[in-house]
Amino acid sequence: MENVASDMKYGKDVRLYDMSGWIRACFQHYNDAHFHLQQDVQRRFFHASFAEAATTLLRDGAAYAWFLFLASSGAITVGEFVLACGAVASFSTLVTQISNSVGQVMQAVPPLDRMRAFLDAADEPEPERPAAPPAKDVPLSIEFEDVCFSYGGRNPVLSHFSLRIAPGEKIALVGLNGAGKTTLIKLLCGFYKPESGRILLGGTDIAAYRKADLYALVASVFQEATILPFTVAENIAMTDEGVDRGRVEDCLRQAGLWDAVCRLPRGMDTGMTSVEEGGVSLSGGQRQRLLMARALYKGAQLLFFDEPTAALDPVSEHEVYNGFRELVGSKTAIFISHRLSSCRFCDEILVFDGGRLVQQGSHDELVGDESGLYHAMWQAQAQYYAEDRILFA
């Protein structure tokens, strides 16, 4: 609810679906529920405070009455009476403080346990003897050895999966949604650990690399375009070691975004937010191109592209595909796409289904296999293109 109220990107849906009345009703329901909850908390707090006060009065009152009886009967002196009352008051204060401290600790234990669990999961221990990272200019091979993985113990996404990609090879991953393509990339990046099996980069298990060394080997372009509120140059360099402006320009040219950046108010020094003065918000296709430039600037040996042209127009997409080999160079690259015509430039196409590799080969080989999944997917897409040609002929 808070995001809907504060994020302007939800405005079009709110208007088109006339959601304002419904959202107000949801806010009102939330406020009413919060008010009743607050009343219930205050009622419980009052009862607890009253019980604590009654207990204290009973305990201390009994002690004071006893000492008063002893003093009136002459069993203790006035000085001893004052000393005893002071001891009771100090003891009562100590007990109250201990009780409050124990209560605060008990309230803090569950959140602390959750925080420790999160930190333990996020800050995995580094290997005791980390492997040395390979040289920057050496293409790397990728190997999956009998890898199994599932999210939260549910149905396996990858089941006894094995694969080898040669150094410098360009591979396309295709398949239906949920086949495990993006999961494979996230495993390679070290975001998740396989439940069994090994993943090797350049012959070395990725578990043997330090996280920083593993991340340095990989540059990815995911479907979600993460643009930070910095300048264009800073969004591409993504480093505190200074921005190499000449290198930024080269990467922007390779990604086909340089002309658009030159038209911005401050060029590559333009802020990437429409809130600040002179800032801009790029279109979806331009954001994807910027991410490609970021991946090129990093200079990693492994490049992963997860639907990088999904937001591009057909002409721009064709330009990217034609220049893909030049962009990647000798690096090992994995390309995920649902547009099968875009896979022709790759050395090999891998077809996934249900977490398994069901076909492997070139575009022509896979299209020629009429019993395979690739042929069925190709025919489904070709049918719509044929219908479009008939409609607009």
- Domains in the chain: boundaries: 2-122, 142-227+282-391
Segment 352-362, tens digit of pLDDT: 887 788 888 88
pLDDT of 387: 44
pLDDT of 102: 75
Amino acid at 362: S
pLDDT of 127: 81
% pLDDT > 90, the chain? 6
Residue at token pair 């150094």: 167
Give CA separation, 357 vs 172, 173, 311, 360, in Å: 12, 10, 27, 8
More confident residue, 385 or 76: 76
Indicate yes or no: pTM above 0.85: no
Sign (positive or negative) of CA dihedral 102, 106, 107, 111: positive
Q: Rounded mean pLDDT of 276-292?
A: 77
Cβ atoms 320, 312 nearer than 8 A = yes
Cβ partners under 8 Å of residue 344, min gap 6? 321, 363
% pLDDT > 70, the chain? 84
Of the candidates 129, 137, 134, the residue with the CA atom closest to the CA atom of residue 202: 134
Give CA separation, 156 vs 31, 175, 177, 356, in Å: 42, 16, 15, 10
Segment 27-78, tens digit of pLDDT: 888 788 777 777 877 887 777 777 777 777 777 778 778 878 887 887 888 7
Residues in the chain: 393
The values of phi and psi at residue 115, to 5°, are -65, -45
Burial of 276 (0-12, 13-18, 19+ CB in 10 A): exposed
Domain covering 142-227+282-391, topology: Rossmann fold (3.40.50)
Cβ atoms 308, 338 nearer than 8 A = no
H or E stretch at 357:
strand 356-361
Give CA separation, 204 vs 144, 220, 299, in Å: 11, 20, 20
Cβ atoms 77, 70 nearer than 8 A = no
Distance, in Å, from the CA atom of 246 to the CA atom of 232, rounded to the nearest integer, reads 13
Of the candidates 215, 181, 98, 198, the residue with the CA atom closest to the CA atom of residue 147: 198
pLDDT band at 390 (very low <50, low <70, confident <90, very high): very low
pLDDT of 391: 37
Distance, in Å, from the CA atom of 383 to the CA atom of 393, rounded to the nearest integer, reads 15
Q: What is the DSSP letter of 130?
A: P
Is pLDDT above 80 for 199?
Answer: yes
Is pLDDT above 90 for 131?
Answer: no
Please report the beta strands in 73-205, taking only residues with DSSP state E, as ranges in sequence order. Answer: 142-150, 156-165, 170-175, 196-201, 204-205
Cβ atoms 143, 194 nearer than 8 A = no
CA torsion angle 225 231 232 235 (round to 10): -50
More confident residue, 327 or 230: 230
pLDDT band at 6 (very low <50, low <70, confident <90, very high): very low
Segment 263-276, tens digit of pLDDT: 888 889 888 876 55
Is pLDDT above 50 for 2?
Answer: no
- The token duo for 191 is 């975001």
- The token duo for 222 is 């995911």
Cβ atoms 213, 254 nearer than 8 A = no
33-47, 185-199, 294-308: range with lowest mean pLDDT = 33-47
- The token duo for 234 is 């800073």
6-20, 48-62, 112-126, 201-215: range with lowest mean pLDDT = 6-20
pLDDT band at 197 (very low <50, low <70, confident <90, very high): very high
